[in-house]
Amino acid sequence: MNRNSQWKEAVLNEKFLKLPEEKQRKIIYAAIRVFAEKEYKHASTDRMAELAGISKGLLFFYFKNKKSLYLYVYDYLIGLIVRQLEDMDFKEEHDFFKLFELSIRVKSTLLKDNPYIHGFLLKARYEENEAVRQELSDRNKTFLEEMFPRWFPEVDFSKFKEDVDPWDVFMLLYYLGDGYLREAVCRKDFDLDRVCEDYERWMDWIKKSVYRKEYL
């Protein structure tokens, strides 16, 4: 496994990886829940151990410290998203915006299945704690740079206007969705389906601005 590609599944303590898969998942999702509920600094490892049904000492037997657990969980979730995206027949799709729409649907299904994943990833995106901030920034940068050619291997970029850089559109859509999700999740009437509908409508507006007329 290529450890330089940080969006791939993380590998840590071999003793943890030798646990039954269900036990691993219980520990991972206990950590996801607590990190989703609290910022990194205030996330309680005692609470994680309690939810996982293990002692705090055993938790730190598997993970060196809270930081290594946090980064493991982040890498785990990015790997999970990547695998689900790659399970799609995305290589058969040649339109940039249709591929982006497919990725939104995949991610929204994942988030609806476990809302704590959503909370964790949003908090991680805006985490300010110095213990993890730079490493999260580096991981996100690597993820975006490596996933762009993987998501769009057969896309027909000639549909874009001559003065439009597809990478710029990609980044615009990424941060548009990121910011909207952050604002929407704070509302009491948060509805992920409505968020997806809004986002797809905005994508259509952007498409009309960056595609050549003959492809609209």
pLDDT digits (tens, 9 = 90+) for 34-52: 999 998 999 999 999 999 9
CA dist., res. 55 & res. 21, Å (int): 18
Residue 8 in this model has a pLDDT that exceeds 70? no
Other C-beta atoms lying within 10 Å of the C-beta of residue 8: 18
Nearest one of 161, 162, 175 to 100, comparing CA atoms = 175
d(CA 171, CA 168): 5
Domains of the chain: 74-215 (1.10.357.10)
Give the bridge partners for 160, in sequence order.
Answer: 211
For 51-63, what is each residue's pLDDT tens digit? 999 999 999 989 9
When pLDDT is cut at 50, 70 and 90, the band that residue 188 belongs to is: low
**How much is the pTM?**
0.82
Residue among 34, 30, 36 nearest 58 (CA): 30
* Nearest CA-CA partner of 124 in 199, 170, 67, 63: 67
| pLDDT the model gives residue 91 | 67
